[in-house]
């Protein structure tokens, strides 16, 4: 009886190759908000996913050093805002290096968790942190949804694909026509969006 060949350790994948492949994963664009030292904080994010419907839970991934990650750690709460394609300027503002992402943005404080809620979004989830995990230079937060709302005035989501904001359109015979370009994040120099 022969012994199986030992498995070879795969070569590490280069960050450039990883970024080149992952930028082709279309994602909904969100703004994550919280409060840090009594001040509203927030950032644009695509690393958001549902975890469970019973109980309802959402996972977000934030850079450890971001003010928003620090706010979520301090307060144990955050909000996830789903952006419509009309909210592209909001996505750009929260992705910028501006000190005050909330300048000119209408918002109010959520009664349950005290986190900032953007008045203009496709919908939002208010979450309290159930668990968090440090992974390299990011923190994963699993949040229990304690409140959510869908604003049906603007049902068209803002997407991010291949370093560009996109609008969703009906599937067609030509796959190239399914995601309409809506401006380039690269062109406006969004930090941390090197995919």
pLDDT single digits (tens) 149-162? 998 665 799 999 99
Q: What is the CATH superfamily name and number for domain 27-166?
A: Electron Transport, Fmn-binding Protein; Chain A (2.30.110.10)
Question: What percentage of the chain reaches a pLDDT higher than 90?
Answer: 70
The pLDDT value recorded for residue 192 is 46
Q: What is the dihedral of CA 120, 63, 127, 90, to 10 degrees?
A: 0
183, pLDDT greater than 70: no
Query: How far apart are the C-alpha atoms of 144 and 55, rounded to whole Å?
Result: 7
Mean pLDDT value of segment 57-71: 97
The pLDDT value recorded for residue 174 is 60
Pairing label, strands 123-135, 39-45: unpaired
Query: How distant, in Å, are the alpha carbons of 5, 6, 9 from that of 2?
Result: 9, 12, 21
187, pLDDT greater than 70: no
**pLDDT band per the 50, 70, 90 thresholds, residue 10:** confident
Mean pLDDT value of segment 160-169: 90
Considering the entire predicted model, what is its pTM?
0.83
Q: Dmax over Cα atoms in the chain, in whole Å?
A: 73
Mean pLDDT value of segment 101-114: 92
């Amino acid at each position: 009886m022969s012994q199986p060949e030992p498995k070879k350790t795969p070569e590490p994948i280069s960050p450039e190759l990883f970024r080149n492949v992952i930028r082709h994963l279309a994602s909904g664009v969100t703004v994550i908000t919280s409060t840090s030292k009594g001040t509203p904080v927030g950032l644009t994010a695509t690393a958001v996913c549902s975890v469970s419907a019973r109980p309802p839970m959402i996972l977000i991934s934030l850079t450890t050093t971001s003010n928003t990650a620090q706010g979520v750690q301090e307060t144990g709460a955050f909000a996830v805002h789903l952006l419509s394609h009309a909210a592209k300027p909001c996505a750009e503002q929260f992705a910028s290096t501006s000190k005050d992402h909330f300048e000119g943005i209408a918002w109010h404080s959520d009664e349950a968790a005290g986190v900032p809620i953007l008045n203009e979004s496709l919908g939002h989830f208010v979450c309290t942190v159930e668990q968090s995990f440090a992974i390299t230079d990011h923190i994963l937060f699993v949040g229990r949804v304690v409140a959510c709302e869908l604003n049906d005035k603007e049902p068209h989501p803002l997407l991010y694909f291949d370093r560009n904001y996109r609008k969703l359109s009906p599937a067609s015979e030509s796959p190239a026509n399914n995601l309409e370009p809506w401006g380039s994040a690269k062109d406006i120099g969004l930090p941390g969006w090197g995919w």
